[in-house]
Amino acid sequence: MPLDALSASGATTTSAGLNKSKASIAENFDTFLSILTTQLKNQNPLEPLDTNQFTQQLVQFTSVEQQLKTNEYLEALILANQSVGQTQATSFIGKTVTASGANSELSGGQAEWSYSLQADAPKAYISIRDQSGRTVFSEQTSLGAGENTYVWDGVTNDGTSAGDGTYSITIDARNEEGQYVPVSTQTTGVVDGVDFGSYEPILIVGGARVKMSSVNSVSAN
């Protein structure tokens, strides 16, 4: 779907939701005003409306009016922020991003993940799964502490070459005593497009979908 169409779709969805809420409040506001006006017109001249009670109703009246104004300002703020977010997201197209996550795209016989280990892991168990969750490759290896990169050549456990697509990695890192070593994974790739179908822009990196909020770095190719 074209970017302008996706942008319009996202904005329309947000605006429609806000307009629905605003219409509901406005309906309640009109009902309240009608009831108050009718009450004033039909009050007993010999027993007029209690001043304290009338004051309380006016306060309620003002509160509803302020709520309407607040919703209008909120709508304008959300739409403005959404526009800024969409503009920022489209600027990522064609650039290489690194984002938190376990997914990466296998293309040209190579898939790459960045990972960070808090300590050396001489016993690290790596599993790579396809989009259906099936383990296609696994191995035991040794990983060093710090920021590193793991590259998979696409060769599966049975010796065949996996097809291009999105794959996820799981790293179970252990020290010499077999204790778990905390590890975080990141994926790197070129942004091909942006999906504005949800509230937060989603970057299309190969076939993977990456939330813009999970992006840790951006670099020009």
Query: For residue range 155-174, what is the model confidence (pLDDT) as tens digits?
Result: 999 999 999 988 999 999 99
Cα 221–190–166 angle (5° rounding)? 155
Q: Which residues pair with 155 in a beta bridge?
A: 161
Contact 203, 194 (CB under 8 A): yes
How far apart, in Å, do the first and last CA atoms of the chain sit?
A: 25
Q: What is the pTM of this model?
A: 0.53
Residues 6 or more apart in contact with residue 82 via CB below 8 angstroms: 10, 11, 14
Fold of 96-219: Immunoglobulin-like (2.60.40)
Q: Which residues pair with 159 in a beta bridge?
A: none
Q: How many residues does the chain have?
A: 221
What are the φ/ψ torsions at residue 2 (nearest 5 degrees)?
-60, 150
pLDDT band (50, 70, 90) for residue 96: confident
pLDDT band (50, 70, 90) for residue 104: confident
The pLDDT value recorded for residue 215 is 82
Radius of gyration of the chain (CA): 28
The pLDDT value recorded for residue 170 is 93
